[in-house]
Structure 1
Amino acid sequence: MTAARRLSLVTDEVHPPGPKVKTGSLRVAIATQDMKSLNAHFGSAKRFAVYDVTSDDWNFVEAVAFEDVSDESGKHRTEGDDRITPKVEALKGCHLLFCLAIGGPSAAKVISAKIHPIKVPQPQSIENVLSRTRTMLRTAPPPWLRKVLAEAGATEKKSFEDED
């Protein structure tokens, strides 16, 4: 089984183990090979950069690293080798997952963990992904993001009829 290594920021706050989601923010995971860009498929990502994003800013939370990853075709090296479940377990608590691609079975596992996968057509900087997410939060979020925000407790639930 693939084990995840975590690098988390330590603050002066006393809290239980594991990074706690900041109230009013979305926890975002970004599939990356180099911690600089969104540049990996979900199954082949060696790392996930995790940030808390609000409409005003973003903060790095942790990096989760995996040594034993699938190749970009999604094929496992040995039959029955599950490299997806440990990744999903390590990302629990995230609201959004940005990646270049994700297969159907992996997407189903991610969604069942209450993480919304977002496929991005080409590589881009992590800063650009975070900036676009922040802009979406600041302006009128699309319906799928409003649902994620409501589930995350980041906003009050508003009926679509209340909007003008």
Structure 2
Amino acid sequence: MEGQHLRIAITTDSLTDLDAPFVAAKNFVVYDVSADDSEFIDALQFARRAKGKAAGGGRDANGGRCVMDDMENDDGTGHDPLTERVNALEGVSILFTMGLSDLAAVRVHQLKVFPVKSARHRAVDDVIAQVQSMISGVQPLWMRRAIARRTGEELAEQYAF
């Protein structure tokens, strides 16, 4: 793919919609997206899911248990599903998700991946169309930074008149 493009990941249970939080998603779908084109790269599947249905918002919103209780290593193998999910984002510039805990957000940010939280379910095609629209228009600063990191170029100034 030539020109400005980004690799995005979308958290999904259905493989067709942005419909799952980062910690509990069965899959990540990964695309390369430019202003005119998109290319499917991979669908990453995760064997382990969160133990419960934590909704975020702390202990009060989740029946007295912490959202991060979902990520405990309960099988004694030393397997850390959060690390597995974060490592799967290697090479991705933007993560679209329904929700992200503070701990996951910190780890994702360390990879220089910009997380975008969605308040509602959206079709993967709609997410790609939104990214294409932003790439071809006046790009937000976070997107210009992501493109500059991906291409290794200096951050370009961009003005809207």
TM, length-normalised to structure 1: 0.78
Structure 1: gaps (5+ residues): 1-21
Instruction: Render the CA deviation track for 1:104-128: whole Å, top value 9, x for unaligned.
Output: 0001000101111110111010000
Q: CA deviation at 1:33?
A: 0.1
Matched, 1:57 2:37: yes
2:71 to 73, 76, 87: 76
The number of aligned residues is: 142
Q: Which moved more, 1:73-82 or 1:114-123?
A: 73-82
* Percent of aligned pairs with the same amino acid: 29
Q: CA deviation at 1:81?
A: 5.9
Distance 1:48 1:40 in 2: 9
Structure 2: gaps (5+ residues): 55-66
Distance 1:149 1:90 in 2: 19
Listed as ranges, the matches of 1:141-152 within 5 Å are 141-152=139-150
Matched, 1:129 2:127: yes
Secondary structure of the 2:88 match is helix
Q: Which moved more, 1:137-146 or 1:65-74?
A: 65-74
Distance 1:100 1:136 in 2: 20
2:89 to 67, 91, 94: 91
Aligned to 2:102: 104
TM, length-normalised to structure 2: 0.80
Secondary structure of the 1:122 match is coil
Aligned to 1:67: 47
Distance 2:152 2:24 in 1: 31
Instruction: Render the CA deviation track for 1:11-59: whole Å, top value 9, x for unaligned.
Output: xxxxxxxxxxx45320000000011100000000110000000011111
**Superposition CA RMSD, Å:** 2.1
Q: Which moved more, 1:117-126 or 1:145-154?
A: 145-154
Report if aligned partners of 1:26, 1:154 keep a CA contact under 8 Å in 2.
Answer: no
Matched residue type, 1:35: L
Instruction: Render the CA deviation track for 1:38-93: whole Å, top value 9, x for unaligned.
Output: 00000001100000000111110000000102144242354686211111111200
